Copies of this chain bind each other. A is one copy, B any other.
Amino acid sequence: MNKSSLTELTHIKTKLMRHITIILIFMAVPFIAMAQPGQPVEQWTGKTILLIGAHPDDDSYSMGTLAMLNANGNDIYIAILTTGNVGTQDPDLGMMDLALIRKQEEQAALATMGIPLDHYINLGYDDGMLEYENAKEVVAKLVRLIRTIRPDVLFSFDPGKGSQRWHKADHRASSYLSADAARAAMWPLMFQGQITVEGLEAHTIPEYMLYDSAEEDVNTWVDITEWEERKVEALTKYVSQFSSGWYDYKGPELSPEEEKEVKEQLRGWIHQHQDGVPVEGFRYYTGLPDDLGR
């Protein structure tokens, strides 16, 4: 290292020095991780936010919060691992049809939330097969994304109890892969090619908003009263995923009656938590990604 002029790397050092008050962090010792955001989520502004999910609609858990954050001047990116190309019972839809439909639905939902379409990234994996893809490669791609977007906050399926008990395999996979990627992204010596030949820099995500957590793990409830209708509107875009569209997709438009019924049901579902106040619950975490699961 003393020989080649590694100027590309040296400024990383300077940058890292700012954090130098942290002591003893990488020795294998337990920390108290459960916490609430120092600054209420409602007051966040100027942050770069990355959400990672498995399917084009996994932002549903966070839509109110995302719409609010977007309105408050935060920069939001949505990265989805699969195209959602098997989620239908309509025998007239093939995989490519469904992928295109779900891409359009996701884009429509994002537009409703005010998120720019070029902030939507889809990694293109086949729906339902994430568990069988090569984990090292998926993590490498997420690490690249993290090192490029350099988020202040990561929204992810909670890799805690919520995803340990099996439910949807892709969700479980998404939670673990995201957490593994958050960890790996901070080490310059991991996935070195991204740093040496692509010119990226290691990046440590400091804050986490974990969604779909076990009820008892939720430590942060975001009041989305003002954003409820926006969320209902956005959810209504996923026509292929509910009602008759799931069995017999007839295009992105609902009939007025069907739209009315769907929205009412959605409102009921949104209100089901916290005594009628519409909220979204998260497990907030701040600290090194290594302890994210505690």
Q: Which residues of A contact B (CB under 8 A)?
A: 1-4, 6, 8-10, 12-13, 16-17, 19-20, 23-30, 53, 55, 57-58, 60-61, 82-83, 85-101, 103, 122-126, 128-129, 131-137, 139, 159-161, 164-169, 171, 175-176, 179-180, 183-184, 186-198, 202, 212, 235, 238, 241-244, 246-251, 261-262, 265-266, 269, 290-294
Contact = CB atoms under 8 A, between A and B. Distances in A.
Contacts of A250: 3
A130 B249 CA distance: 33
Contacts of A99: 192-193, 196-197
Contact of A124 (B17, B198, B291, B294): B198
Contacts of A96: 1, 6, 9, 94, 188-189, 192, 195-196
A294 to B, nearest CB: 6
Total copies of the chain: 6
A95 B95 contact: yes
6 contacts: A29-B269, A88-B187, A91-B188, A96-B188, A96-B195, A122-B193
